[in-house]
Amino acid sequence: MKKTILLLMLAVVINSCSVEVLVDGCTDFDAENYNSNADNDDGSCWYTCTDPYAVNYNLVLNSYYCEYEADVVLYLDVAGAQSLTNSGVPFLDVYIGNEKIGSMPADVGFSDVVLCDDLNPEPVHFTYQWENALSTTLSWSVRDLNGTEWYSDNDLVIANNCLSLLLSNKKLQEYKEATK
């Protein structure tokens, strides 16, 4: 009888011990490789940007985002260049936020519109990149070699387009007055 009770208790203990096996895999329903049997996300999910305007369209990535870009050119008009030269400013540094992205001579002004495909080296040309929207706001400023800000603005940038930014003497003077 003791053996039977001992065997029953042993059987109960053995049956109550079960090992749960976790299945690793991608648990994100929005991922291309979602695994409905996975219990534990192992970081293996992959995604595809489906926006044909994005530079990473149809690329397989380990996180979901679409990347966009636009070309930008910033230049001075003739009167702006003359005003800066008269103020003793030899160069202007162009910043996006606090990151310097280029410099241009302050004594070179243009009477015509400068476009992104213009190869003239005096304007500042760059490609601006951002994520997850067809358009974004570009916050930029120009400063002299001493760090004095001469102008700043926010402009709408649209994916796969050219944003031509004219820094005119009028804008320089209005900014100077507004920031006194």
String of DSSP letters for 117-173: T---SSSEEEEEEEESSSEEEEEEEEE-TT--EEEEEEEEEETT-EEEEEE-HHHHH
DSSP category for residue 77:
B
Amino acid at 63: S
Residue 84 pLDDT more than 90?
A: yes
pLDDT class of 2 with cuts at 50, 70, 90: low
Residue 91 pLDDT more than 90?
A: yes
Cα–Cα distances in angstroms (integers) from residue 11 to residues 6, 128, 145, 157, 175, in the given order: 9, 69, 84, 71, 86
pLDDT of residue 6: 58
For the segment 94-99, the average pLDDT, to the nearest whole number, is 95
Residue 3 pLDDT more than 90?
A: no
Residue 155 pLDDT more than 80?
A: yes
Which residue in this structure is represented by tokens 């050119």?
A: 73
For the segment 95-123, the average pLDDT, to the nearest whole number, is 95
pLDDT of residue 180: 84
CA distance 27 to 61: 16
pLDDT class of 11 with cuts at 50, 70, 90: low
| Contact yes or no for 93/101 (Cβ under 8 A) | no
pLDDT of residue 22: 84
CA distance 86 to 109: 13
Identify the CATH class of 67-178.
Answer: mainly beta
For the chain, what percent of residues have pLDDT higher than 70?
A: 89
Show me where the domains of the chain are located: 15-61, 67-178
